[in-house]
Chains A and B, each alone.
Chain A
Amino acid sequence: MKYIDEFNDPGLARRLLDEIRATATRPWALMEVCGGQTHSIIRHGIDQLLPEQVELIHGPGCPVCVTPLDVIDQALEIASRPGVIFCSFGDMLRVPGTDRDLFRVKGEGGDVRVVYSPLDALELARRHPDREVVFFAIGFETTAPANAMAVHQARRLGLNNFSLLVSHVRVPPAIEAIMTAPACRVQGFLAAGHVCSVMGMAEYPELAARFRVPMVVTGFEPLDILEGIRLAVRQLERGEHRVENAYPRAVREEGNPAAVRMIEEVFEVTDRNWRGIGPIPLSGWRLTDAFRAYDAEHRFDVTGIRTEEPAECRSGEVLQGLIKPTECEAFGTTCTPRTPLGATMVSSEGACAAYYLYRRMNAATPQAERAAREEMNPVA
C-alpha cells in the first residue's frame, strides 16, 4: 500500500497544483484520453482542485462507452442462444443495446458470466466441450494482448468451441479524428499510460507535430495525473508541442514488443465504428483470416445486425469534447445511470455518469454554489 499512498500524497499534490496555478497564464483545454484517467480525476476530485484556466475535457477512452450499438446487439443475440456461455467483463453487462442489456438476457435464462480475463473464458471452454463459449473482446490496446493470447491458446489446445466477439479500438486514429473535427477545442493531450505501456510511443510524435499539440503520456494515480497536467500546461505556455513521458515507471519508448507481436499475429487493422462518434478509418482490430474460425460474428452469423443510435443521445459530442454532458437535453431527465440512453451514462468512467454524480451534489447546495460564485466575482 505504501507504493500507492505515495501517489496520493496531499502535500505533493498541493505543490503540483501550486505549480500548475503559477504556470497557467491563460485558459487551456486538455483532453485526458483514457476512461481510467477520467475515473481517477472524478474519484479524487482533481477537476475541482485545478485552477480555472485549466479545463479537462473527457476523451473517448472508455471501452465500454465506445463499443457500438450494433456490436452490443450482436452480443445480446449470441448470448440468448441455447448452448452458449457468453463471457464478458463486468461493466459491459449493463450497457444498453437497442431494447435490453446482457443482465436482461441473463435474467431471461441466458448463460452470461462475468470473467476477469479471456483466459478464464478459455478455461470454461475447456471444461464445457459441449457448449459454445464466447468472450466479448472489447477494449483498447490494453486488453488486446490478452485477447490475442486467448485465441492463440485456443488454437494450440484444439478448442473449437471458443470464439471472440471482437470490437477492439485503437487510440491514435481516435486522436486524429478528434483533432480534425471542425469544432475541436482540444489544445493538449494526456495520453493513456497503459496503452503506451503496450504499444510504446512511436505513433505519437507525428500526431503532436501535425496538430501542434503537446502529448504527455500520463499514469492513473492522482499525482501522475497532476504531473501530466503540469507538463502539458508548461509546454502550452512555452508554445511547444512534443511527446513527453510522465509515466516512465510503466512506459518505455518501445512499449512491450512481445505483446505487440502477439497482437500482430492474431489481429489486423480495420475500420471501426465508435459508439456515439461514428466510423473512424483504421481505428480498430479484427481477427485475421488465419483466425477467422474463432470469430463469433461469423460463427453465429450475426454480421447482418446493424442498428442506429437513439437520436436523442448526444454522447458522441460528449466523447469528442464538443459539449459538456450538462448541455445535453436528456441529461439527468430521460437519461440517468438507471436509464442510460448512451454508454457514457452507463460506465462509471463515462463522462455523463461522472457529471451526473458530481452535479447532483452541486444541485443540492445552490446556496453554497451561489456564495462561492459571488466570492469569486463580487460584482456579478
Chain B
Amino acid sequence: MPEQLADTVDPANWTCPAPLRDQPVVVMGHGGGGALSAELMEQVFVPAYGNATLAALADSAVLELGGARLAFSTDSYVVRPLFFPGGSLGDLAVNGTVNDLAMSGARPAYLSAAFVLEEGVELSVVGRIARAMGAAAEAAGVTIATGDTKVVESGHGDGVYVTTAGVGLVPDGVDIRPQRARPGDAVIVSGPIGLHGVAIMSVREGLEFGVEIASDTAPLADLVAAMLAVTPDIHVLRDPTRGGLAASLNEIARASGTGVRLQERAVPVPDAVANACGFLGLDPLYVANEGRLVAFVPPSSADEVLATMRAHPQGAGATVIGECVAEHPGMVVVATGLGGTRVVDLPLGEQLPRIC
C-alpha cells in the first residue's frame, strides 16, 4: 500500500494546499483552536505584525525588558453560559491568562481586565463576574492592576465579553517553549481531561449525563513553580484549552519537528467524560480543558517531576501518557488499547458531534 501512496502523492509536500482566500468570511472554526485558527494566525496576523517574538506562537511571549525576562499574554473570553458548574466567565478570564503565563515558566504578577458589556445586561451579573475575578486573582496570587469598560448596543454582543492581559517574570535558566521538545521526553498530563468542555456543553445544550460534570478551571502557576523547583530544564508546557490535548500536542510536534506517541489506555479520561463523548460522538482528546497542563520533561527527571506534581493539589491526577519520539515528525500517534495505531490530527475547527 505504501507503493500506491508514493505513486499518487509526494509525502514531503503533504500540506494543506488551500490558501485562506478560499474562506472569504470568518467561520466559527477560526476560533476553535485548530487548523483554521492556526491559518488565521499564520496568514493574517503574523504577516501583518511581522516579528520573531510573535512568530514563535507560544501561549505567552517572553520578552527581554530592563534586564528581566518578562512573559506577556492576552486572551479574550466569550463563554456561554456565563456561569457553569465549577466556575464562571470570571474564573476563566483570570485562570486562562495566569495559565498562559505559567506555560512559559513565569510567575504571573499583574493582569489587566477589559469588559465589553451588552446594553441590558443586569449589573448584578457584571458584579458576580467581577467578584469571581477578584477571588480567582487572589487564589492565583496576581493583582488586577488596570482595566477598561465598553458598552455595545443591545443585540451587538453576547452579554459580557472579558479580555485579560497579564505579565509575569520568567526565572533565570528557564526556557520553556514548544520548539524544545526532544525525542525521549516523557509526556505528562496533570490530571483527567475533558471536564471543562463537557461541563460547558452539558449546560449549554441542556444535556444531562447522570452525574454533574464540573469544569476543571484552576490556576496552574503554583504547580509549575513546584515542577521547576525539581528541574528548571522542563522542555515544554502547554495548557490544552480549545482543541484539547490533540491540538496542543500537534502544535508541539509541529514546532519541534518531533513526533508524539500516546498510549490510549494511559490518557486519564473520567468515566463521565467518556460516556458524554460516546453519546455525542466526540473524541475526549479534542475536548477543552481549563485547569490542566501537558509537560514534556527530559527522561532523567521525569519520575521526580511526576512525584512532585502528584503531591500538588492541581497535579494530583498527573500521569505519563506517552513520549516524544523521532519517528513521524510533526505528528501525534496513539497506540490504541487493542494494539493498533491511529493518527490524532490537528482539529480543523471546532469538533462536531457525529450523526452515527
Chain A interface residues toward B at CB < 8 A: 1, 4, 8, 10, 13-14, 34-36, 39, 42-49, 62-64, 89-94, 103-104, 106-108, 114, 116, 138-140, 142-143, 194, 222, 324, 326-329, 331-334, 336-339, 347-349, 357-366, 368-369, 373
Contact = CB atoms under 8 A, between A and B. Distances in A.
Interface string B16-35: 11100011011111000001
B135 interface: no
Contact of A338 (B275, B339, B348): B348
Contacts of A328: 8
Interface stretch (B178-186, B217-225, B327-335): B327-335
A110 B331 CA distance: 36
> Size band of the B side of the interface?
35 or more
Contact of B25 (A35, A108, A373): A108
Contacts of A107: 25-28
Given A1-B271, A107-B27, A116-B207, A45 B339 contact: yes
A55 to B, nearest CB: 11
B342 A358 contact: yes
A23 B349 CA distance: 44
Nearest to B9: A332
A4 B274 contact: yes
B353 A91 contact: yes
B150 interface: no
Contacts, number: 164
Given A45-B342, A359-B5, A10 B331 contact: no
Contacts of A114: 352-353
Interface in B11-70: 11, 14, 16-18, 22-23, 25-29, 35
Contact of B2 (A103, A324, A369): A369
A349 B345 CA distance: 14
A360 B343 contact: yes
Nearest to A354: B342
Nearest to A334: B17
Contact of A339 (B11, B18, B28): B18
A45 B336 contact: yes
A287 B275 CA distance: 34
Given A91-B354, A107-B25, 8 more contacts: A10-B339, A64-B355, A357-B343, A357-B345, A358-B343, A362-B5, A364-B11, A368-B327
B149 interface: no
Contacts of B339: 10, 13-14, 45, 49
Interface string B301-345: 000000000000000000000000001111101001111111101
Contact of A91 (B11, B23, B345, B355): B355
A45 B274 CA distance: 19
Contacts of A10: 337-339
12 contacts: A1-B275, A4-B278, A46-B338, A47-B340, A89-B355, A108-B25, A324-B1, A326-B1, A339-B18, A339-B22, A360-B14, A361-B331
Nearest to A1: B271
Given A45-B341, A107-B25, A339-B22, A333 B9 contact: yes
A230 to B, nearest CB: 14
Contacts of A93: 352
B280 interface: yes
B27 A104 contact: yes
Q: Which 6 A-B pairs have the closest CB atoms?
A: A45-B340, A363-B11, A90-B352, A364-B328, A107-B25, A332-B9
Contacts of A332: 8-9, 14
Interface of B: 1-2, 4-5, 8-9, 11, 14, 16-18, 22-23, 25-29, 35, 205, 207, 259, 271, 274-275, 278, 280-281, 327-331, 333, 336-343, 345, 348-349, 352-356
Contacts of B281: 91
Nearest to B326: A365
A92 B338 contact: no
Contacts of A43: 336, 342
A134 B16 CA distance: 34
A297 B182 CA distance: 56
B355 A92 contact: yes
A42 B266 CA distance: 19
Contacts of A140: 356
A103 B29 contact: yes
Contacts of B278: 4
Contacts of B348: 94, 337-338
A42 B342 CA distance: 7
Nearest to A220: B356
Contact of A35 (B9, B27, B28, B356): B356
Contact of A327 (B4, B18, B35, B340): B4
B337 A8 contact: yes
B16 A339 contact: yes
B339 to A, nearest CB: 6
B351 to A, nearest CB: 8
Contacts of A369: 2
A222 B338 CA distance: 8
Contacts of A47: 340
Contacts of A103: 27-29, 349
A90 B354 contact: yes
B17 A336 contact: yes
B191 to A, nearest CB: 18
Contacts of B352: 90-91, 93-94, 114
Nearest to A34: B356
A189 B338 CA distance: 23
A234 to B, nearest CB: 21
A347 B281 CA distance: 12
B336 A44 contact: yes
Contacts of A39: 354
Given A10-B338, A91-B355, A336-B16, A362 B28 contact: no
A89 B22 CA distance: 24
